[in-house]
Amino acid sequence: MKYIQQLIGIQRTTWVLLSLIFLSACQYSNQLALYSLSQTELNQQLSHSLGMLQQNARLAGIPVQLKVNSLQAQIAQDGQPLIQLQLNTEAQAKMALLQVPLQLALTLSAEPYFDQQRQAIYLRQFRVIQSELTAGRWQGKLKPLNRELEQLLQQLLAQQPVYRLDPNKLSHRALLNIPLTIKLSPGKLVLSPAYL
Protein backbone atom coordinates (compact mmCIF):
# COMPACT_ATOMS: atom_id res chain seq x y z
CA MET A 1 0.00 0.00 0.00
CA LYS A 2 2.85 2.35 0.92
CA TYR A 3 4.50 1.54 -2.38
CA ILE A 4 1.34 2.47 -4.35
CA GLN A 5 1.04 5.79 -2.47
CA GLN A 6 4.69 6.59 -3.23
CA LEU A 7 4.12 5.72 -6.91
CA ILE A 8 1.06 8.03 -7.08
CA GLY A 9 3.05 10.81 -5.40
CA ILE A 10 5.86 10.42 -7.96
CA GLN A 11 3.36 10.47 -10.83
CA ARG A 12 1.73 13.66 -9.50
CA THR A 13 5.11 15.34 -9.06
CA THR A 14 6.16 14.28 -12.55
CA TRP A 15 2.85 15.55 -13.99
CA VAL A 16 3.24 18.95 -12.25
CA LEU A 17 6.85 19.28 -13.45
CA LEU A 18 5.90 18.38 -17.03
CA SER A 19 3.02 20.88 -16.95
CA LEU A 20 5.34 23.64 -15.70
CA ILE A 21 7.91 22.85 -18.38
CA PHE A 22 5.22 22.86 -21.07
CA LEU A 23 3.78 26.19 -19.91
CA SER A 24 7.17 27.87 -19.72
CA ALA A 25 8.03 26.48 -23.18
CA CYS A 26 4.77 27.91 -24.56
CA GLN A 27 5.49 31.31 -23.04
CA TYR A 28 9.03 31.25 -24.38
CA SER A 29 7.95 30.14 -27.88
CA ASN A 30 5.32 32.88 -27.90
CA GLN A 31 8.14 35.41 -27.76
CA LEU A 32 9.99 33.66 -30.58
CA ALA A 33 9.72 34.77 -34.18
CA LEU A 34 8.71 31.66 -36.07
CA TYR A 35 9.15 33.37 -39.41
CA SER A 36 10.47 36.80 -40.32
CA LEU A 37 9.84 38.65 -43.58
CA SER A 38 11.93 41.68 -44.49
CA GLN A 39 10.65 44.70 -46.38
CA THR A 40 12.83 43.71 -49.37
CA GLU A 41 11.33 40.19 -49.46
CA LEU A 42 7.81 41.61 -49.18
CA ASN A 43 8.45 43.99 -52.10
CA GLN A 44 9.84 41.14 -54.21
CA GLN A 45 6.67 39.14 -53.51
CA LEU A 46 4.48 42.14 -54.39
CA SER A 47 6.31 42.68 -57.69
CA HIS A 48 5.44 39.07 -58.67
CA SER A 49 1.75 39.79 -57.99
CA LEU A 50 1.48 42.96 -60.11
CA GLY A 51 0.03 41.18 -63.15
CA MET A 52 -2.99 40.11 -61.10
CA LEU A 53 -3.69 43.58 -59.73
CA GLN A 54 -6.19 44.90 -62.24
CA GLN A 55 -9.89 45.51 -62.04
CA ASN A 56 -12.81 47.05 -63.85
CA ALA A 57 -14.67 49.48 -61.64
CA ARG A 58 -16.46 52.80 -61.49
CA LEU A 59 -15.00 56.05 -60.17
CA ALA A 60 -17.42 58.97 -59.82
CA GLY A 61 -19.83 56.99 -62.02
CA ILE A 62 -17.29 56.63 -64.86
CA PRO A 63 -16.26 53.11 -65.93
CA VAL A 64 -12.54 52.65 -65.30
CA GLN A 65 -10.14 49.81 -66.03
CA LEU A 66 -7.47 50.04 -63.32
CA LYS A 67 -4.06 48.36 -63.46
CA VAL A 68 -1.26 48.64 -60.86
CA ASN A 69 2.14 49.20 -62.54
CA SER A 70 4.35 49.49 -59.47
CA LEU A 71 3.82 48.77 -55.80
CA GLN A 72 6.26 49.41 -52.96
CA ALA A 73 5.64 48.61 -49.30
CA GLN A 74 7.13 50.09 -46.14
CA ILE A 75 6.64 48.08 -42.96
CA ALA A 76 5.86 49.90 -39.68
CA GLN A 77 7.04 53.28 -40.86
CA ASP A 78 7.20 55.68 -37.86
CA GLY A 79 6.70 52.64 -35.59
CA GLN A 80 2.99 52.25 -36.45
CA PRO A 81 1.67 48.67 -36.85
CA LEU A 82 0.69 49.34 -40.48
CA ILE A 83 2.04 48.70 -43.94
CA GLN A 84 2.29 51.78 -46.13
CA LEU A 85 1.89 51.21 -49.86
CA GLN A 86 2.97 53.45 -52.72
CA LEU A 87 1.17 52.59 -55.94
CA ASN A 88 1.54 53.89 -59.45
CA THR A 89 -1.44 52.88 -61.51
CA GLU A 90 -2.72 53.47 -64.97
CA ALA A 91 -6.38 53.51 -65.88
CA GLN A 92 -8.57 53.84 -68.93
CA ALA A 93 -11.68 55.92 -68.29
CA LYS A 94 -14.44 55.18 -70.79
CA MET A 95 -16.54 58.28 -71.51
CA ALA A 96 -18.98 58.09 -74.41
CA LEU A 97 -16.86 57.03 -77.41
CA LEU A 98 -13.59 58.19 -75.83
CA GLN A 99 -11.06 56.31 -73.77
CA VAL A 100 -9.11 58.71 -71.59
CA PRO A 101 -5.78 57.45 -70.15
CA LEU A 102 -5.23 58.31 -66.49
CA GLN A 103 -2.24 57.89 -64.18
CA LEU A 104 -2.83 57.61 -60.45
CA ALA A 105 -0.10 57.96 -57.84
CA LEU A 106 -1.33 56.81 -54.44
CA THR A 107 0.04 56.42 -50.96
CA LEU A 108 -2.12 54.45 -48.56
CA SER A 109 -1.83 52.55 -45.31
CA ALA A 110 -3.35 49.21 -44.41
CA GLU A 111 -3.37 46.74 -41.54
CA PRO A 112 -1.89 43.30 -42.26
CA TYR A 113 -3.52 40.16 -40.88
CA PHE A 114 -2.82 36.45 -41.20
CA ASP A 115 -5.62 34.32 -42.68
CA GLN A 116 -5.16 30.89 -41.11
CA GLN A 117 -7.34 29.02 -43.62
CA ARG A 118 -5.65 30.48 -46.69
CA GLN A 119 -2.19 30.46 -45.03
CA ALA A 120 -1.49 33.96 -46.28
CA ILE A 121 -1.04 37.58 -45.20
CA TYR A 122 -3.72 39.96 -46.44
CA LEU A 123 -4.38 43.67 -45.97
CA ARG A 124 -7.49 45.42 -44.62
CA GLN A 125 -8.56 48.82 -43.21
CA PHE A 126 -7.21 50.79 -46.16
CA ARG A 127 -6.76 54.55 -45.82
CA VAL A 128 -5.61 56.85 -48.62
CA ILE A 129 -2.92 59.22 -47.33
CA GLN A 130 -2.12 60.97 -50.60
CA SER A 131 -3.49 60.75 -54.13
CA GLU A 132 -2.62 62.49 -57.38
CA LEU A 133 -4.21 62.14 -60.79
CA THR A 134 -2.74 62.94 -64.21
CA ALA A 135 -5.15 63.01 -67.14
CA GLY A 136 -3.57 64.38 -70.29
CA ARG A 137 -2.16 67.78 -69.35
CA TRP A 138 -4.25 68.08 -66.20
CA GLN A 139 -2.71 67.12 -62.88
CA GLY A 140 -4.23 67.44 -59.43
CA LYS A 141 -5.20 65.85 -56.15
CA LEU A 142 -8.13 63.47 -55.76
CA LYS A 143 -9.50 64.36 -52.33
CA PRO A 144 -13.20 64.01 -53.30
CA LEU A 145 -12.58 60.52 -54.71
CA ASN A 146 -10.41 59.21 -51.86
CA ARG A 147 -13.25 57.25 -50.25
CA GLU A 148 -14.12 55.61 -53.58
CA LEU A 149 -10.44 54.86 -54.16
CA GLU A 150 -10.14 53.24 -50.71
CA GLN A 151 -13.06 50.94 -51.52
CA LEU A 152 -11.75 50.18 -55.01
CA LEU A 153 -8.24 49.36 -53.77
CA GLN A 154 -9.64 47.32 -50.91
CA GLN A 155 -11.57 45.19 -53.43
CA LEU A 156 -8.48 44.88 -55.60
CA LEU A 157 -5.88 44.16 -52.92
CA ALA A 158 -8.07 42.20 -50.49
CA GLN A 159 -8.39 39.39 -53.07
CA GLN A 160 -4.63 39.13 -53.53
CA PRO A 161 -2.42 38.18 -50.57
CA VAL A 162 0.74 40.20 -50.03
CA TYR A 163 2.51 37.01 -48.92
CA ARG A 164 1.57 33.33 -48.91
CA LEU A 165 3.21 30.45 -47.03
CA ASP A 166 4.54 27.82 -49.41
CA PRO A 167 3.99 24.20 -48.25
CA ASN A 168 6.89 23.13 -50.50
CA LYS A 169 9.37 25.21 -48.49
CA LEU A 170 10.78 23.45 -45.44
CA SER A 171 10.87 26.71 -43.42
CA HIS A 172 7.15 27.26 -44.11
CA ARG A 173 5.93 23.68 -43.61
CA ALA A 174 6.32 23.81 -39.82
CA LEU A 175 4.06 26.89 -39.65
CA LEU A 176 1.10 25.44 -41.53
CA ASN A 177 -0.63 23.90 -38.48
CA ILE A 178 0.14 26.59 -35.89
CA PRO A 179 -2.21 29.52 -35.18
CA LEU A 180 -0.16 32.59 -36.14
CA THR A 181 -0.30 36.31 -35.53
CA ILE A 182 1.59 39.20 -37.11
CA LYS A 183 3.93 41.58 -35.32
CA LEU A 184 5.53 44.52 -37.09
CA SER A 185 8.74 46.41 -36.44
CA PRO A 186 10.32 48.95 -38.81
CA GLY A 187 11.29 47.12 -42.01
CA LYS A 188 10.26 43.69 -40.72
CA LEU A 189 7.12 41.55 -40.43
CA VAL A 190 7.20 38.63 -37.98
CA LEU A 191 4.87 35.64 -37.74
CA SER A 192 4.56 34.41 -34.13
CA PRO A 193 2.35 31.87 -32.32
CA ALA A 194 -1.12 33.29 -31.63
CA TYR A 195 -1.68 31.25 -28.42
CA LEU A 196 -0.98 32.43 -24.87
- pLDDT greater than 90 at residue 83: yes
3 state SS for the chain: CHHHHHHHHHHHHHHHHHHHHHHHHHHHHHHCCCEEEEHHHHHHHHHHHHHHCEEEEEECCEEEEEEEEEEEEEECHHHCCCEEEEEEEEEEEEECCEEEEEEEEEEEEEEEEEECCCCEEEEEEEEEEEEEEEECCEEEECHHHHHHHHHHHHHHHHCCCCEECCCCCHHHHCCCCCCEEEEEECCEEEEEECCC
pTM: predicted TM-score of the whole model, two decimal places: 0.71
98 pLDDT exceeds 60?
yes
Q: Rounded CA gap, 49 and 132, in Å?
A: 23
Task: State residue 102's pLDDT score.
Answer: 80
| % of the chain exceeding 90 in pLDDT | 12
Question: pLDDT band at 82, cuts 50/70/90?
Answer: very high
Average predicted confidence (pLDDT) for the chain: 76
pLDDT score for 77: 86
